[in-house]
Structure 1
Amino acid sequence: MEKQRNEQLEELRRRFEEDGYAIAKGVFGPEELAEIVRTFEEMSHRTIPGYFEPDFEAGKDDPLKRYPRVMHPHRFDATAKKYMLHPPVLEVLRALYGEEPLAAQSMFYYKPPGSRGQALHQDNFYLKVEPGNCIAAWTAVDPADEENGGLLVVPNTQSHEIVCPDEADAKESFTTHFVKPPAGAKPVPVVMEAGDVLFFNGNLIHGSYRNKTKDRFRRAFICHYANASAARIGQGYRPLYRADGTEVDLESNPDGGPCGVEFAYYGVH
């Protein structure tokens, strides 16, 4: 069993290095997914200032007003923190990093029917992990596909430099930034089953479709990590956490990156 697991991890590492991303199948089991669903369903009926602020009277014109994403739930919810530090996720991250991972961010997306997607972007534009890079672990809580707003990735852009983004199309994206893929590169859909986890490099250009369905949510639990040898990270992602839950406080990265100093303390994306 150990040999087989090591071979699986090596294959994930190979795909991650070649393509910039890799899917680990069935990382979360049915009981774990059910606990995540219960936790965030209960959370969706209350307001948590600074983390989750829904408009309970919102109409169908913008479903994301009623179901915005939850930011940093690990900071106030034990279940979110537990699954941000989920041992099978950390095991893959160790294989990808070649060292211990540090958990920096958690998010939960409800993505109800009819909601906009997210324009193509790069995660390390926001996290600013140095030296090294961030890695995302994107867990499908529901099956995710082209119809209900699954992810798009631009393969082999993990070596593409972090760039200052353009303005996104507000009719299709709930965020404002858009990164144009390099010449000849095109986004491809990532189809996932509930419980699968997509790991991807912080430079990889990625985004998501609009949810075109009338009755399917596309819920996702998303966490970002830094390598243990990193010294700096964006201000909004501190403190970080070791596998045992203890805190690590890296230096705040003052570098504004390709957009200049006004982006030095750009918040969570």
Structure 2
Amino acid sequence: MIETATTRVPLFDRADEDFVEHFAREGFALLRDALTPEQVKAVNDDALKLCRGDLGQISFRGPDASAILAREQAVAAARDDDEAVLRQYLCIHYPHKVSQASLAALKEPRIVDALTKVIGPNVKAMQSMLFIKSEGKPGQAWHQDEFFIPTRDRSLTAVWVALDDATIENGCLWVLPGSHARGVIYPAREQDDPRFDCSTEAYDFPYTDEDSIPVEIPSGTAVIFNGYLLHRSLQNSGKHGYRRALTNHYMSAESLLPWFGPREGEHMGIADYRDIIMVAGEDPYAYKGTEDIARPSSRPDKEGGCDR
């Protein structure tokens, strides 16, 4: 175990007892070399292909048809310039659906081993997100992942893997240690802070910005954190370069996933989103089968308006 330079947060070489204890107490733990340099490069290479449209179409979200059309035109105009096309995106959802490198990262044994230590033996994944975040791009306001992806047993766990060295300057994660412990989902509101993208902002929690710490980590390191942990990121204020990251979400396979609510005629108590991938153990609900629902999409970053 070593420590990060700026915050003296432990950086673990493996998911041992100290890792698990730190995760339980603080709501997060850092796993060094969760992905190898070769794996990081493969994900970044696929990110460029994804942004250029070489891996299939990405749908855009926006406040209206004209905003979506403007984004499509901007991407098309930049397609032959690698740097320019990457800068058209802040975040792409579900890269694992079309990128073999992202899918391999979702199932990476070192990461899965850590997940089984903090979730349990049976683990399923339901989402991946690829953040590009070039210079000037915004971060996300305070939020809890379980606000957006509810589980029935509070088992949601995020794995945020740095694909570039994550620093304060380029918009690393900030966390409120221990903020998961109450098991409370705080209210959220719309915000117009230019430092953040279109996502809502959690508020009315018993912590201040001064209680937060930055998580500056080298490329390939994973921040593994509880779905109730309050966290945010600030904009990339660097003069050039990216703060790329791959974020995957997992939970216990024993829990139903009422992510998008019940289908017509279905009781809320048995709502269960089945576009999942088992990464460890057995699926108690395997008899339901799985579905291929989600496709790669890109959300707006405020430039051009938000989709609400």
TM-score range, shorter chain: 0.7 to 0.9
> Structure 1: where are the runs of 5+ without partners?
252-269
Counterpart position of 2:46: 39
Amino acid at match of 2:49: E
Matches of 2:168 and 2:246, distance apart in 1? 18
Decide whether aligned partners of structure 1 residues 29 and 162 sit closer, same or farther in structure 2, where only a CA change above 3 A counts. Answer: same
State the shift of 1:72 in Å. 0.8
Contact 2:124–2:280 under 8 Å retained in 1: no
Q: Quick one: which amino acid aligns to residue 151 of structure 1?
A: L
Matched, 1:84 2:106: yes
Change (3 A) 1:81 1:18: same
In the alignment, the residues of structure 1 paired with residue 120 and residue 167 of structure 2 have an alpha-carbon distance, to the nearest angstrom, of 31
How many residues align structurally? 243
After superposition, residues 221-240 of structure 1 pair within 5 angstroms as 221-235=246-260, 238-240=274-276
User: Is this contact kept in 2: 1:120–1:178, CA < 8 A?
Assistant: yes
Name the SS for the 1:235 alignment partner.
Answer: coil
Larger radius of gyration: 2
CA shift, 1:49, in A, is: 3.3
Give secondary structure in 2 for the equivalent of 1:82.
helix
State the distance in 2 between where 1:245 and 1:51 align: 35
Secondary structure in 1 aligned to 2:59?
coil
Aligned equivalents of 2:49 and 2:207: distance in 1?
45
> Which 10-residue stretch deviates more, 161-170 or 92-101?
161-170
Q: Distance between the aligned counterparts of 2:148 and 2:86, measured in 1?
A: 22
Aligned-residue offset at 1:99: 2.3
Structure 2, unmatched stretches of 5+, are 1-11, 62-70, 79-84, 262-272, 291-308
Q: 1:137–1:223: 8 Å Cα contact kept in structure 2?
A: yes
Aligned CA RMSD, in angstroms, stands at 2.9
- Alignment of 1:123 with 2:145, yes or no, is yes
- The 3 A distance-change label for structure 1 pair 250 and 176 is farther
The Cα offsets for residues 25-84 of structure 1, whole Å up to 9 and x where unpaired, read as 1111111111111111121212723379763258xxxx9971131111122333222211
Q: 1:133 to 1:250 in 2, by over 3 A?
A: farther
TM-score, scaled to structure 2: 0.71
Question: How do 1:99-178 residues align onto structure 2 when only pairs under 5 Å count?
Answer: 99-160=121-182, 161-178=184-201
Give the match's secondary structure for 1:145.
Answer: coil
Amino acid at match of 1:182: F
